[in-house]
Chains A and B, each alone.
Chain A
């Protein structure tokens, strides 16, 4: 008998790669049917991840929305069990509360992984907004809490925070919230789909990465990219 036949192996659980989509569904998202493009983009993201054998097993997705209220539109699940919600635009932009909710969801998910003995990659928070926060102002209590949550969270490696501004988004405010080494990206008009495809390719790469491997993300600003350097 060969060694392969003699030994048993342990079949470990796949490591998980968690991402929270943090989505603005305020009333202004109706303009230019941005909300429709957002809904289509989420569906495209699921379809793309499902095409990759490894990413399909490893990427976990949650959706937190903010409009009339901060809402967990879809709690963490595998891509297979992810049912793209149909989001409707209404209300204001309670961004501060939404960021806190996303961070809470991530910590809860990590605790579940730890309990189950599942290895995991560094989570991503991916924010898409077309406005400015209506639940906080620069320097107030919530603002300070949210900014230090993001900056400390990035610094201590709790998560990676990406911010995308759409249309009339307040890029100046987004830049102040974002980690200094990862400035917000301005979405080119009508490029929701390209952005979600980029996100799915990025997650596919991350979920296949090995210890010590640097994951180089595609440049979103190229000719074929979906991002513009914001003019602040």
Chain B
């Protein structure tokens, strides 16, 4: 039986600076492809978090954030409401995303409140980027300095969610900040990306290599994304016969060839020449419904 038309490939790799200092990779990513409620076809959720260098256990915060946020979105998409509708269909995209960010922030807070864990909330500070896709529609948002780029059915390649503006390069607002809601960039509702064929979600360690600045605006660098998406679109077709429903991934680069290809790219001299930070890249191919 042919698997889902959706495929996702991902990896998170430790940056040179963390290899030198003996620190772990503080980026985390998680994706899941699953059947929607009421038999409405497949859906996908992608979550990417970047633990702050100033927070002592930010990789734990990032891990909690990606799983809690993805679980909340999955709940909306898989819960049957009534009359053949899912919970996601009666809820605005904005609300689903805001609830997912809130779920991530609350999960981090809960972990910090448990004295046995021996950490406070600020030790777990991280950014978060989220994208979900179902029924041919997508919505995305982020708090932090990564970005989301999309390829569209008319051939455009554009930034879907920009890094959240911060005047100075080394300053960022994490989701553990009380201000996270006001520091969110979102593409949902009226601004939702339509006709999305591919998406790439990535952390700031990649941003210098894969974006360009024009007149103060951050734009997708086509020389990177066009061949990247082409590569994974053909891989996705090749893989489709063997793909199983209910695929999940955590970006350790080991689950399949596509993931290890991304891990190889992120660890390459080319990418490391631009940044020695941890790097995460998730590539989604939405195929045809």
Contacts and interface: CB of A to CB of B under 8 A. Distances in A.
B208 A12 contact: yes
Interface residues of B, number: 45
B170 A7 contact: no
Contacts, number: 114
Nearest to B217: A117
Contacts of B270: 4, 7, 9
B212 A10 contact: yes
State the main secondary structure of chain A at its contact with B.
Answer: loop
B228 A6 contact: yes
Contacts of A115: 216
B210 interface: yes
A119 B169 contact: yes
B210 A122 contact: no
A81 interface: no
29 contacts: A3-B261, A4-B271, A8-B221, A8-B223, A8-B227, A9-B221, A9-B271, A10-B208, A10-B209, A10-B212, A11-B274, A12-B211, A114-B216, A115-B216, A117-B214, A120-B169, A121-B168, A121-B169, A122-B168, A122-B170, A157-B167, A209-B53, A210-B204, A210-B277, A211-B204, A212-B54, A212-B127, A214-B54, A215-B170
Given A8-B223, A210-B17, 17 more contacts: A3-B228, A3-B262, A4-B270, A4-B271, A6-B231, A8-B221, A8-B227, A9-B224, A121-B170, A209-B53, A210-B277, A211-B50, A211-B144, A211-B145, A212-B54, A212-B55, A212-B170
Interface of A: 2-4, 6-12, 15, 114-115, 117-122, 157, 206, 208-215
Closest 10 A/B residue pairs (Cβ): A212-B52, A117-B213, A8-B223, A213-B53, A214-B54, A211-B172, A4-B268, A9-B209, A119-B169, A10-B221
Interface of B: 17, 50, 52-55, 125, 127, 144-145, 166-172, 174, 204, 208-216, 221, 223-224, 227-228, 231, 261-262, 264-265, 268-271, 273-274, 277
